[in-house]
Chain A
Amino acid sequence: MKKKPTTLAMVLAGGRVDELNVLTYYRPKSAVPFGGFARVIDFPLSNLMNSGLEQVAILSQFRSFSLINHIGSGAAWDMIGRYRGISVLPPSTGHASSNWYRGSADSVYQNIDFIRYHDPDCVLILSGDHIYHMNYQEIIDYHKAKDADLTIACLAVPKEKAHRFGVASIDDEDGELGGRVLQYKEKPTSPKFTWASMTIFCFKPEALLATLTDNAREDTSFEFGKDIIPRMLADQRRVYGYKFHGYWGYTRTIEEYWQTSMDLLGPNPPIDLEAWGLRTNLEHRDIRDYQPLKIGPRATVADSLVYNGCVVEGTVERSILFPGVHVKPGAVVRDSVLFFNNTVESGARLSKVISDVNTSFGADSAIGGQGAVGEHEATVLGWNNQIPAGSIIGSDCTIYPHLRPEKFGREIKNGEIIR
């Protein structure tokens, strides 16, 4: 018999990540468009739905509007019903707590009342920033089987990349499944172990509340990776690592965002949206109202993902087009990701470009690097830019949102930042 949910999920969606600069100028990273129609946060939300976890809180601080709009009623992820719900919890003023969220752990700490009210057996805390497919029920089962205070989902990463993550050493208690966390280091300069934390935490509520309370009393830093995990280890609490063996896409930099997007393409893409059961809120930006993609008589579309509402009359290769993109006759778009309502005029050539919403590329403009895609970095454009006809913009450029046309009066060389 289905009863009240025993797991409360809390999604950390407040962060703005500076490396994604112009894409997170007006929205938190979790609301960044991904995959031709969705947002990054749709991945954890769909995972929650597909794991049968439907009591969810979203902790949001930075530029919440886009995110709140996107979540809507939660019906898109079936999170509306008697025991199903999604609550956006922004920072609030009040008797006890009247601060901005000072860190990921603080955002949870300031909502202790919310956790107590729901009285769960398990608090699942997730980052809203990653691209992956996971049945959270499995980590919860492992967590409960181990009677752990905290279980961290971990992924093996190459040693040379480990310095960018929180990394753990995990013993072989349960082989490929997981084991006890022996040590943990947040972004070590010379990493000795390579099980990276995926920012997916299963907490026993009393252990979480006690540690958050201690931390708030004794520390001035409030991060799960930097503060809470080490504190729990120091307190001799039962901390376990759950080993994840699937795909994990991260989008911390523009180049990573581009690479993760390209993982949607090819004959056997590592990211299989269909098999993963990804859902998004079709009411956001009214994407449900677009007509089917229209492909013109002389168009070419190959190795690409294109959503309803696009019109392709030119050439599109190895690219991802969000709803409302119009590629006019003679235009060429390669190795690019174009967000909602971009227009590419006749004769324009885009190569390895990431372009935020409502940007247009004038006729015969040439944007992005020449030559093989591996040899240069992506050029990224913020929203609402009108690139004049005939403009030339090189590779690895950053164009800030909504610039005046005179900013484009000259050739923009590789690596330039225009603001």
Chain B
Amino acid sequence: MNPISKTLVLLLAGGVGSRLNLLVQSRAKPAVPFGGLYRIIDFSLSNVMNSGLTQVGVMTQYKPLSLMNHLGNGAAWDLAGRSRGVKVLPPRTGASDSDWYKGTADAVRQNIDFIKAHPSQEILILSGDHIYHMDFDQMIQAHRQKKADVTIGMMVVPMEEIHQFGAGITDADGRIVEWEEKPKVARTDLASMGIYVFDTKYLLALLAEDREEVDFGMHLIPKAIARDNVYAFRFNGYWRDVGTVQAYWQANMDILSEDSGISPEAWGIRPNVEASARMADRCPARFAATAQVKNSMISAGCVIHGEVVNSVLSPGVVVHKGAVVRDSVLIDDCVVGEGALVDLAIMDKRVRVGRNAVVGSGDRQTVNQEFPTHLYTGITLIGKAAQVPDGAVIGRNCIVAPSRLAHDFPSLHIPSGATV
């Protein structure tokens, strides 16, 4: 008999991820393209598939269209079939529930009917925001072994970063005895990954206690730790919250380096190639006699005449003769014109860089004036379908908003830190 999983998965995919700036202007963070062929949520969904889990509810809120399209019927992650399924759970109005999701726990609470309709022994709660590879089955087994009410996926982080996380202090048995949400003073290096296994009955009872408790990390988890059996499940390995432009760029670059520990193919990460109308029928990448490519990821459908170094190219990117792309992430169907230079940039879909234009020029110190906390390391961000005019020179830490055309540019010289 094929054992049907007793664990129901709830994937929180409502996050805005606003620090990703333009990349989340028309899509939720989990739907942001990553690593050439993937979207961020593919990592969570593939982990779910590879862990043998078969029933998934995806809670969406912010700009869910791109995400819903990407999920399709779930077949890409083997979630289509008699005992399998992936359902999108947007907020809805109803007799008693008629609100937007007010927090992670509130999102789950508003979908109690979904939980009851899919009887389970445990509920695995994940976020769709992270780049990692994890076997949830091991975590579920550990949860059962400890007879825990809640098990939290936790990893060791540098002490100076613990202030970004929920931090837990455990006893010798792995039971969490103390919890601090985003502590200012580090007392432990064990950080929550936002991955929870709940005993289903326990979760339903906990959610019923107080409707004002809308967040797992802030409300429910500290309460459970104080009162009940909450265990830590330790994770060792690559895990990134690619929530900032810098972290997003760095994680893409990590795929290029041998020893970073990230490898989508070895991890069994599956994209949904059918979701994008064009991805499925891309031809092999074409390299002209003049092509020079070093240390890069190149997807099917790319055409390379020029030079590409330390970059990640999604399907359909064209780099014309004499053009140079360096240290950059180019999403689907970008075109870099003859003689152009793209240096340290992230370009969303269908960006066109005109002939002899330069994207990323000058010093890296001038931060973006409008979003100094988003762009400060030199990366320039170009929005979907923007067209950089021939001969234009764009500085560093710049933003070009989506669909900007030549006449939207105040001049051919955009200084570092400016926004078009």
Which residues from chain A sit less than 8 Å from chain B, CB to CB? 35-37, 76, 267, 273-274, 277-280, 282, 288-309, 320-321
Contact = CB atoms under 8 A, between A and B. Distances in A.
Given A36-B283, A298-B294, 9 more contacts: A292-B299, A294-B256, A295-B295, A299-B293, A301-B287, A302-B291, A304-B287, A305-B287, A309-B265
Interface string B44-63: 00000000000000000000
Contacts of A290: 265
B293 to A, nearest CB: 5
Interface string B269-308: 1110100000011011111111111111111110000000
Contact of B299 (A278, A289, A293, A321): A293
Q: Size class of B's contact patch?
A: 35 or more
Contacts of B291: 301-303
Contacts of B297: 291-295
Given A291-B35, A292-B36, A37 B283 contact: yes
28 contacts: A36-B283, A36-B284, A76-B280, A278-B283, A288-B271, A288-B273, A289-B265, A291-B35, A291-B37, A291-B264, A291-B269, A292-B313, A294-B256, A294-B296, A294-B297, A295-B295, A296-B294, A297-B294, A297-B295, A298-B294, A302-B288, A302-B289, A303-B287, A304-B286, A306-B285, A307-B285, A308-B299, A321-B284
Given A37-B283, A290-B265, A303 B313 contact: no
A302 B308 CA distance: 12
B270 A289 contact: yes
Interface of B: 35-37, 256, 263-265, 269-271, 273, 280-281, 283-301, 312-314
B288 A306 contact: no
A278 B300 contact: no
Contacts of A296: 294-295
Given A279-B281, A307-B284, A295 B298 contact: yes
A46 B284 CA distance: 16
A305 B294 contact: no
Contacts of A267: 288-289
B283 A274 contact: yes
Contact of B298 (A36, A279, A282, A293): A293
A294 B298 CA distance: 6
Contacts of A307: 284-285, 300
Contact of B37 (A76, A280, A292, A294): A292
Contacts of A293: 285, 297-300
A345 to B, nearest CB: 18
A37 B36 contact: no
A299 to B, nearest CB: 7
Nearest to B263: A291
B295 A308 contact: no
Contact of B281 (A278, A301, A304): A278
B36 A295 contact: no
Given A291-B37, A295-B298, A308-B37, A303 B285 contact: no
Pairs of residues from A and B, 5 with the lowest C-beta to C-beta distance, nearest first:
A36-B284, A292-B36, A291-B265, A307-B284, A273-B283
